[in-house]
Amino acid sequence: MIENEISSRIAVAGRDIAVRAVPGRAPGVLWLGGFKSDMTGTKAEHLARWAAARGSAYVRFDYSGHGASSGRFEDGTISQWLEDTLAVFERATTGPQILVGSSMGGWMALLLARALAARGDGRLKALVLIAPAPDFTEALMWDRFPPPVREQIERTGRFLKPSLYGEDPYVITKELIEDGRRHLLLGAPFAVGCPVRIQQGAVDEDVPWAHAMRLVSCLAEDDVVFALVKDGDHRLSRPEDLERLTAALEEFA
């Protein structure tokens, strides 16, 4: 853990969400991790050190079924993880916030921003998104699954999707796919009401750069800057990628 970082837990609908917070000045930074990742990854740790060094508030957490939080990963849905995100935003952060969302965390950041804008909550200062994957359950999974995989999901309720990173396969459930359809964003323009900065790898095999460009076209009313890293992969966690990330934050922090 980072010096002065405080660990806590938040109860959300019977789930126990693990949270770590570095106290500091506003605007704070809220880290939103990716699908089956946890808050001890390279980018999350880098941001914790960056925030501590400059005296900025920083919060990171694990969705239910991820990392140190309770629950099974395969029981999770987009609705459930969004509920976790909203609870952490409301109970663990104060004042203006910059959301940093990686992959699925980008989808969470966009859904959170849209919900806050709809109720007139002006706490968001900016969104910094790394290989954002809105609608991934439909556009990057279901639409690309061959017929035998779709049939297996319909018949058995699950599919073991191999990981590109040598980890255990991802359990993709029928409930995850069907619930994801309740939160699709890319079909029409929408506004989040704050600046958006997107960093995307050109050789990303999980979230192709064209998918992130669909998001840019939907954010027609917002201040959006899209940066394509020519040799970048999905994780964008090399030292030079981390420098780009904190440089994007410095624009607002």
Which residues belong to the active site? 103, 204, 234
Within its chain, how far is the Cα of 221 from the centroid? 22
Dist CA 236 CA 77 (whole Å) = 25
The order of strands in the sheet holding 124-130 is: 6-12, 15-22, 56-61, 25-32, 97-102, 124-130, 196-201, 224-229
Q: How many residues does the chain have?
A: 253
Within its chain, how far is the Cα of 23 from the centroid? 22
- The DSSP element (H or E) to which 87 belongs, if any, is helix 78-92
Please give the DSSP secondary-structure letter assigned to residue 163: P
Please give the DSSP secondary-structure letter assigned to residue 110: H
In 33-123, where do the E strands start and end?
56-61, 97-102
